[in-house]
Structure formats: structure tokens, C-alpha cells
Amino acid sequence: MNPGTRELLREAVSWGVVAIIGVAALLHFDTLKTGAEQMLGLPTSTEIAAVQRVPASTKPARLGSVVEIQAADNGHFNAAVEINGRTVDVMIDTGATMVALSYEDAERAGLLLNDSDFTSAVSTANGMARVAPVTLDRVSI
């Protein structure tokens, strides 16, 4: 076999192996995704779907009330809060320095935003994001 034919055969075998690995990855995508989520310590899709709302317990305090929210199985704190008198399901970030709502949650809270309202930028885990600074009338759990 001449060197050119040998090189062509080696290339064909290499691409064949790549194709087999690609097909296997597509066929077993869900299993691979779940395994990767577990390795990284992320909640799996089934864990997220199984999260149940835990009612917050309220205890009387000197001024107002103390609300204790139990962490879900995935470690996140979820609650239904009232923003401007409307109920919005949120994840509570105990280290947050501001209230951040998705565009859809802002709409649920009665905030009507235009593109021109997005005048600031913040740095997030996914990169820079444009934000619309607003003042909320009331936030309560």
C-alpha cells in the first residue's frame, strides 16, 4: 500500500471513530447530562422538577414578623413573594446586594418596561447584562 492510500485510510478510520462517538453521545445525552450535573454538584432536571414549595413559618417578633424559609433539597431558598401586591415565585439569594427580576417576573409584578428603560449594566455569572433600575413600592414574604 502506498503512503497516500495509507494516510487516506487512517483519516477515514479517524473520522469513523469520531462519528461513532458523536452518535453514542447523542443517543445517551440524558445520561451524560445527568452524570455531568452530579459531578459538578448541580441539581439534576429530575431534582428541579421534584422541588416542592415549602410554606414559610412565621414567628412573632418585636417589630413585624420573622420568616424562616427552609432550603429545598437542592440547597436553594425558594419562596412566593409579593412585589407591588402581586405574587411572584423567586429564588432568594442570601448574599445578594439588590433585587433582580427577570423581564417576565417584572411583568408579573406589574412593571411595564420599555427598551429605553434598560440604562445600566451589571456583571453576572453569564457575563454583562443590561438592567432597568426601578423602585419597587413593596416587597414582602
Question: Which is higher by pLDDT, 10 or 53?
Answer: 10
Whether pLDDT at 140 is above 80: yes
- DSSP characters for the chain? --HHHHHHHHHHHHHHHHHHHHHHHHHTHHHHHHHHHHHHTPPPHHHHHH----PPEEEE-SSSEEEE-PPPTTS-EEEEEEETTEEEEEEE-TT-SS----HHHHHHTT----GGG--EEEEETTEEEEE-----S-EE-
Q: What is the pLDDT of residues 20-78, one digit of tens each?
A: 999 998 999 888 888 887 787 776 666 665 555 555 555 555 566 777 888 888 888 88
16 to 4, 12, 23, 112: CA distances (angstroms): 18, 6, 11, 54
| Cα–Cα distance, 89 to 76 (Å, whole number) | 13
Q: What is the pLDDT of residues 65-113, one digit of tens each?
A: 777 888 888 888 888 889 988 998 888 888 887 888 888 888 988 888 8
